[in-house]
């Protein structure tokens, strides 16, 4: 999960007390949980399984309802399936699959790297102070295609619309990197730290 340091720094700047861990007992003590990540879907799932955290995450987030934030790959792993280098089951917390961005013939490159506006389409205290079309920083080649619109909280356009934000109950996910998104990223992280889902 290659963005651990920058996520930690951004959360601390937003006022959080951060514990970086791969121990289930730390998850039990945590008030809220952040799963960052860069890299490939299959490797990310293998890492979670090897660390023994899949069941602990499920217990703390789904059963106990702790506020959860998945960032980039951390969002994608919530899907039931990823299709990066073949098909692989994900955590399955949200209905959807993870597919490669399709920008052929549109003069755009993959990975999608840089700042883009998103359209927030769901009301939540998590998005307070962001306005209707805030800019965030993206680095990704894949995105989640949700089964329906009920969990899509924000979209971005890069050769076509894709899911940039998901929200379901106590689960928030961002395809962009709030830790690299300056003022808007800090506001979103502060909102998450104060969030009572």
Assess whether 177 carries a catalytic annotation: yes
Q: How is residue 196 annotated by DSSP?
A: -
Q: Which of 12, 55, 72, 117 is catalytic?
A: 72
Q: Which of 112, 140, 143, 177 is catalytic?
A: 177
193 phi and psi angles, rounded to 5 deg: -60, -35
Assess whether 55 carries a catalytic annotation: no
- In the sheet where 88-89 sits, what is the strand order? 88-89, 81-82, 96-100, 142-146
Give whole-number Cα distances, 171 to 24, 94, 96, 129, 197, in Å: 19, 9, 14, 20, 9
H or E segment to which residue 41 belongs: helix 41-50
Cα angle, residue 72 at apex, residues 68 and 77 outer, rounded to 5°: 65
Assess whether 72 carries a catalytic annotation: yes
Q: Which of 60, 84, 99, 179 is catalytic?
A: 179
Q: For residues 91 and 57, is the Cβ–Cβ distance under 8 A?
A: yes
Q: For residues 15 and 193, is the Cβ–Cβ distance under 8 A?
A: yes
Closest residue by Cα to residue 142 from 74, 67, 83: 83
Supply the residues annotated as catalytic: 72, 177, 179
């Amino acid at each position: 999960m290659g963005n651990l340091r920058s996520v930690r720094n951004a959360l601390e700047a937003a006022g959080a007390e951060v514990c970086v861990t791969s121990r289930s007992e730390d998850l039990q003590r945590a008030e809220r949980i952040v799963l960052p990540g860069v890299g490939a879907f299959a490797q990310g799932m293998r890492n979670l399984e090897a660390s023994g955290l899949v069941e602990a995450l499920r217990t703390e987030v789904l059963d106990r309802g702790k506020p959860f934030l998945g960032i980039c790959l951390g969002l994608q792993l919530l899907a039931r399936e990823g299709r990066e280098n073949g098909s692989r089951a994900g955590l399955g917390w949200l209905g959807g699959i993870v597919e490669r961005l399709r920008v052929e013939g549109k003069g755009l490159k993959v990975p999608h790297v840089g700042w883009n506006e998103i359209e927030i389409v769901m009301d939540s205290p998590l998005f307070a102070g962001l306005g209707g079309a805030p800019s965030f920083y993206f680095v990704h080649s894949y995105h989640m295609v949700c089964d329906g619109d009920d969990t899509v909280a924000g979209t971005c356009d890069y050769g076509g619309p894709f899911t940039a934000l998901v929200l379901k109950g106590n689960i928030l996910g961002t395809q962009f990197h709030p830790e690299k998104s300056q003022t808007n990223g800090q506001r979103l992280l502060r909102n998450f730290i104060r969030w009572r889902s």
